[in-house]
Amino acid sequence: MAARAALARGLSTSATVAAAFVAVARHEFLPGLGVARAYQDAAVVIKSDADGLPVSASTQPAMMAVMLDQLGVVRGQRVLEIGTGTGYNAALLAHLVGDQRSVVTVEVDGEVAGRARAALAAAGYGGITVLCADGALGAPEQAPFDRIIVTAGAWDIPPAWLAQLAADGRIVLPLSVRGIQLSVALERDGDHWASRSAWRCGFIRVAGAFAGPESVLPLGPQPGLHAHVVDGAAPDAEALYQALSGLAVEVPAGLRVADRAELADLDLWLTVCRPGLSRVNMLGRHEGKASPAQRRIADLMPLGGLCAASAGPFAVAAVGQSASADGDQGPPFAAVVRGYGPGGARLAAGLAGRAAAWDEQGRPGTARLQLTVHPAGTEPAPVDGGLILRRPHALVCAAWPGHVP
Helix (H) / strand (E) containing 194: strand 192-200
Instruction: Compute the distance between CA of residue 179 and CA of residue 175 in angstroms, rounded to an integer.
Output: 9
Instruction: Compute the distance between CA of residue 390 and CA of residue 182 in angstroms, rounded to an integer.
Output: 17
Q: Confirm if 123 and 110 have CB atoms less than 8 A apart.
A: no
Check whether the bond before 332 is cis (ω within 30° of 0).
Answer: yes
Instruction: Compute the distance between CA of residue 195 and CA of residue 200 in angstroms, rounded to an integer.
Output: 14
Q: What share of the chain is helix, strand, coil (3-state, %, to 5)?
A: 30, 30, 40
Instruction: Compute the distance between CA of residue 240 and CA of residue 237 in angstroms, rounded to an integer.
Output: 5
Is 56 part of the annotated catalytic residue set? yes
Strand 387-390 to 44-48 pairing: unpaired
Closest among 218, 212, 267 to 394, alpha carbons compared: 212
- Which residue of the set 12, 14, 56, 322 is catalytic? 56
The neighbouring-strand residues paired with 271 are none
Instruction: Give the active site residues.
Output: 56
